[in-house]
Amino acid sequence: MRVALGYRWFPTAAGYHMERALQALGHEVIYVGLPGAQRAGYDTTVPVDELMAALPQKPDLYLWIDPAGRYFPPGIERLPIPTACYLIDVHLGRWREQAARFFDAVFIAQKDYLERFRRAMGHDQVYWLPLAAAPDVHYDHQLPRIYEVGFVGNIARAHRRTARARRLKRIAERFHTNDFDRTYVPEEVGRIYSQSRIVFNCSIAGDVTMRIFEGTACGALVLTDAIANGLDELFEIGREIVVYQDDEDLLRKIAYYLTHDEEREAIARAGQRRTLREHTYLHRMQKLIEIVSAPGFRRLAPMRAASEEERWRARREVFIHLHMLDALLDQARDLGFSPLRRMWSAFPCLVRRLIL
């Protein structure tokens, strides 16, 4: 297939791993997301239907991947080709339900939110597609496992008071670790996990994170908090990964598995086999393409048939969350709305988001 791909590019983005997986599967990818320091792209002033029409060859699919920064494709509901979105952080806020209604198919990373999104869409072209590992980056580099516990992730100021930050602090006080405060490029992530005996995971809101797949792919034992969202369907708990219940249980289990090498390594090997067999981005993109290219797939985006007023309300919520003030004003102008009247109702919420 020829896939037009819209997302905010950065080296550790799930979208970047998905893009490379699509290419590895033999599909042609056309990047239509945001421009950046290392990549050309398009801003939010270009209607996506006009952009697609200007391409030398028409894509077979448009795919928008969350998180997309300050990018949401204007005019997506007018595209004459199938459209899909992949939503990762569905556990953080409800605005993605409005965004989803602009697409024919919705793929979500967290299983527990399937029914909510099916209700929002009004049809069943909503699918669970978990995150994954990138086998060209997340693999066992065959390095000495010099770290007792490894972790790569977000502990920026917004997360300093979370359970994740508290637990990382306690781990660092007792065990030898990598530098948790550093930012790592993708290749370094694979190396850190290949140098770790245990990879620590702590979800933000009960989500199944990329770290679970990345750590297992690199041959480390993954120790994660007890979460739902289909984790027990992805891995056999206790045999392929290990779950802890609270801070004390976490520290006890780290100490236990560091002193029981054979048991730890057996679980790590089993987890690695499962991930490489079932949980790579190659598997995920193959599944996505099979779904959108199936004979029964239909263009069912609710916003294709919605009124301009309904589209405006849905798009306004998305634009406000993504801090896309210029796109919000352009939308009001293009629809012939009075910007002052329409913007007034959105203004207080928008200001609060921009300030915070």
Q: What are the tens digits of pLDDT across the range 246-275?
A: 999 999 999 999 999 999 999 999 999 999
pLDDT (average), residues 212-218: 98
Comparing 149 with 322, the larger pLDDT belongs to 149
**Would the pLDDT of 317 be above 60?**
yes
% of the chain surpassing 70 pLDDT: 89
Contact 234, 224 (CB under 8 A): no
HEC string of the chain? CEEEEECCCCCCCHHHHHHHHHHHCCCEEEECCCCECCECCCCCCCCHHHHHHHCCCCCCEEEEECCCCCCCCCCHHHCCCCEEEEECCCCCCCHHHHHHCCCCEEEECCHHHHHHHHHHHCCCCEEECCCCECCCCCCCCCCCCCEEEECCCCCCHHHCCCHHHHHHHHHHHHCCECCCCCCCCHHHHHHHHHCEEEEEECCCCCCCCHHHHHHHHCCCEEEEECCCCCHHHHCCECCCEEEECCHHHHHHHHHHHHCCHHHHHHHHHHHHHHHHHHCEHHHHHHHHHHHHCCCCCCCCCHHHCCCHHHHHHHHHHHHHHCCCHHHHHHHHHHCCCCHHHHHHHHHHHHHHHHHC
State residue 354's pLDDT score: 46
- Which residue from 17, 8, 283, 29 is spatially nearest to 138, judged by alpha carbons? 17
Of 157-161, 224-228, 337-341, the range with the lowest mean pLDDT is 337-341
Q: How confident is the model at residue 158 (pLDDT cuts 50, 70, 90)?
A: very low
Beta strands at 126-128 and 105-108: parallel, antiparallel or unpaired = parallel
Amino acid residing at 58: K
Identify the structural domains of the chain with CATH numbers, from first to last. Answer: 2-132+284-306 (3.40.50.2000), 147-279 (3.40.50.2000)
- Which residue from 128, 178, 51 is spatially nearest to 291, judged by alpha carbons? 128
Q: Return the structure tokens found at 244.
A: 């802890």
Of 57-71, 173-187, 303-317, 336-350, the range with the lowest mean pLDDT is 336-350
In the chain, what is the straight-line distance between the N-terminal and C-terminal CA atoms, in Å? 41
Q: For 318-354, write each residue's pLDDT tens digit.
A: 988 887 766 666 666 666 655 444 544 555 555 445 4
- Which residue from 273, 296, 293, 350 is spatially nearest to 319, judged by alpha carbons? 350
**Would the pLDDT of 355 be above 60?**
no
CA 18 to chain centroid: 10
State residue 338's pLDDT score: 52
State residue 155's pLDDT score: 74
Instruction: Report the DSSP beta bridge partners of residue 107.
Output: 86, 127
**Would the pLDDT of 55 be above 60?**
yes
d(C-alpha 62, C-alpha 48), whole Å = 9
Q: Return the structure tokens found at 89.
A: 């952080």
pTM of this structure: 0.89
Of 120-124, 146-150, 293-297, 323-327, the range with the lowest mean pLDDT is 323-327
